[in-house]
Chain A
């Protein structure tokens, strides 16, 4: 028994991987960890987003927010729901808890309008992140941190023109998300070729892949597919392979597999809105407001994107995508 155990231990030690794995991750985490840098009171900030369960993008936002919270001595609470009414109820619970600051995303602004107004009326400073740049100010938020979805879409249209694309498919994975509609509309605006929208069920990856595959199968002229989230780019790549299409796959957002995809040319380009920055800045700006009444941006949205990332940038970013902060 002991001999077996020793053998297993020896094997696992001798077979140590020099790249990646848990140990590399721990080392990276250690580097990022720190104690709070300030001695302001321990305020409680709540963040309520429209994320679905297990969304990589919002995981990165949370990482940024948590790191800023640690630095600023903040008790950080996070909750989310992809149903408008549910999200509004979650904001209401934060108001009930009398939090010291509130961060919300306004993907479904109409559902959030009343409850955000209520938070402002209760004296809770509100910062909007990600989606809702158009509504943020009217709702009484201090500022908005995110990318302007239309501008991001336009950047995609320009990039597609530069790459001489003619017929493009825009894949929307979250029905009812106004920001997603704006992205595709923005791209359509600056893009010279033809572009059509395709709705897929973002919570069902095989379905996403099958839908894109069916579309590519039926129209071999499509020479580019734009997905609106990093995980869907991978599905589009697989769909392209099975359909035998020559389309270039491009995507919004960045993660480790997109970085790899850019490096090995399975992906054309990615438009990053820097989610880490959205979480980090939101917490930090709320802290600044609490501590010093500072407001960044003068009520205008603070843009975190779009940053068009191609093969050359991907090499430099790979390290950060691997630790899950880009």
Chain B
């Protein structure tokens, strides 16, 4: 029954029942991760002296944003029931393409940036097409893409610039304006806020809007929940999946440009292993590995937990030999807490 104290109404469709705001909140997929994030925050606030400084929080937020930009579309993809193992390396590929294209063609760097956008979206489309055409698991398809991109990154970079990193493009036309867009920062007092935090917020907002307010969002949930049933009721499964991979590619492009314009040179071997971090952030944020359930805001909170843990360990001056262990333990605890809170929430429904 509702808590508004109405007189007994005739039985209605359960989907039309009004639920109290509190109940609604408890049913959100990201609630558990919020509790986990608060726990992690309090833990490091107590353990590490310098964690609560404004400048440290800026650093933590930046670390979270670089993960969060990718975690948002990866979360959508996981809700749609698929994986993308090529996401980490795709970031590096995207940065390499814009850098090398601009340099080799002596073009305004914005030209390289847009060529890179097209090519990176091409990678995403490739993943999507291969998946829907071959019907192989996305794990295999994107593993293939991951390996191919890793090889292409090194091969092309060595072929074109003779070394494993690209040439510096810091003195080229358009660099400064591109840096403003992708890698600038705002200093407020002691705190440095990077522009990636804005990109992150925007991407999470758009992803949330798509999930909750658009037809495409419904398709994502439907495809991830039960693809055959979705197809039977007229959901364009192929288009939805390709769209999701394009989303990941777009975010990879944003991250890649950030990498390029913050350092003006790109190392061809980076990015391997980061795809797992994006997936972990999405899972901590409440996405189910099996698909059909999760949220974009959850992925952002997952990224915050990851950022706090990885930097908090350094602020706490713990021996780095144990770093990965602490990281793993914290992530496991956060996820367990997440799970427990969700169970409680469902039980009180």
Which A residues form the contact surface with B (CB < 8 A)?
53, 77-80, 83-85, 89-90, 92-98, 108, 110-111, 113-114, 175-178, 181, 199
Contacts and interface: CB of A to CB of B under 8 A. Distances in A.
B66 A85 contact: yes
A124 B295 CA distance: 42
A175 B269 contact: yes
Contact of A78 (B62, B63, B320): B320
A89 B311 contact: yes
A199 B165 CA distance: 14
Contact of B315 (A97, A176, A177): A97
A53 B323 CA distance: 10
Contact of A110 (B66, B263, B317): B263
Nearest to B183: A114
Interface string B44-73: 000000100101100100110010000000
Contacts of B268: 175-176
Nearest to B323: A79
Contacts of B269: 175-176
Given A110-B168, A175-B154, A181-B164, A96 B262 contact: no
Contacts of A178: 163-165
14 contacts: A79-B314, A79-B320, A84-B267, A84-B270, A85-B66, A89-B62, A89-B63, A93-B56, A98-B50, A110-B265, A110-B267, A175-B267, A176-B268, A178-B163
Contacts of B53: 96
Nearest to B264: A110
Nearest to B314: A93
A175 B268 CA distance: 8
B259 interface: yes
B324 interface: yes
A306 to B, nearest CB: 22
Contacts of B324: 53
Contacts of B59: 89, 92-93, 96
A110 B50 contact: no
Contacts of A108: 165, 267
Given A90-B314, A111-B267, A176-B267, 8 more contacts: A53-B324, A84-B270, A85-B270, A89-B62, A93-B311, A96-B56, A98-B50, A178-B165
A79 B263 CA distance: 21
Nearest to A107: B267
Contacts of A98: 50
A33 B263 CA distance: 42
B245 to A, nearest CB: 24
B154 A199 contact: yes
Given A85-B66, A98-B50, A80 B270 contact: no
B254 to A, nearest CB: 14
Name the residue in A96, A98, A175 with the highest tally of chain B Cβ atoms < 10 Å from its Cβ.
A96
Interface string B251-262: 000000001001
B50 A97 contact: yes
B197 to A, nearest CB: 14
A84 B263 contact: yes
Most buried by B among A53, A77, A84, A85: A85
A93 B55 CA distance: 9
Nearest to B163: A181
A175 B163 CA distance: 10
B270 A176 contact: yes
Interface string B152-168: 00100000000111001
Contacts of B320: 78-80
A113 to B, nearest CB: 7
Contacts of A111: 263, 265, 267
Contacts of B267: 84, 108, 110-111, 175-176
A46 B341 CA distance: 39
A84 B164 CA distance: 13
Interface pairs A-B: 7 shortest CB-CB: A175-B269, A110-B265, A176-B267, A176-B269, A96-B56, A93-B314, A110-B263
Given A176-B164, A176-B268, A178-B165, A93 B317 contact: no
Contacts of B311: 89, 93
Contacts of A92: 59, 62
Nearest to B312: A93
B307 to A, nearest CB: 9
B146 to A, nearest CB: 14
A79 B324 CA distance: 12
Given A96-B55, A176-B164, A114 B262 contact: yes
Nearest to A90: B314
Given A93-B315, A97-B50, A85 B62 contact: no
A240 to B, nearest CB: 25
Contacts of A94: 314
A94 B267 CA distance: 24
Contacts of B165: 108, 110, 176, 178
Chain B CB count within 10 A is highest, among A90, A94, A110, for A110
A294 B118 CA distance: 54
A98 B259 CA distance: 26
A317 to B, nearest CB: 26
Contacts of A177: 164
Nearest to B266: A110
Contacts of A199: 154
Given A96-B59, A96-B315, A181-B164, A85 B259 contact: yes
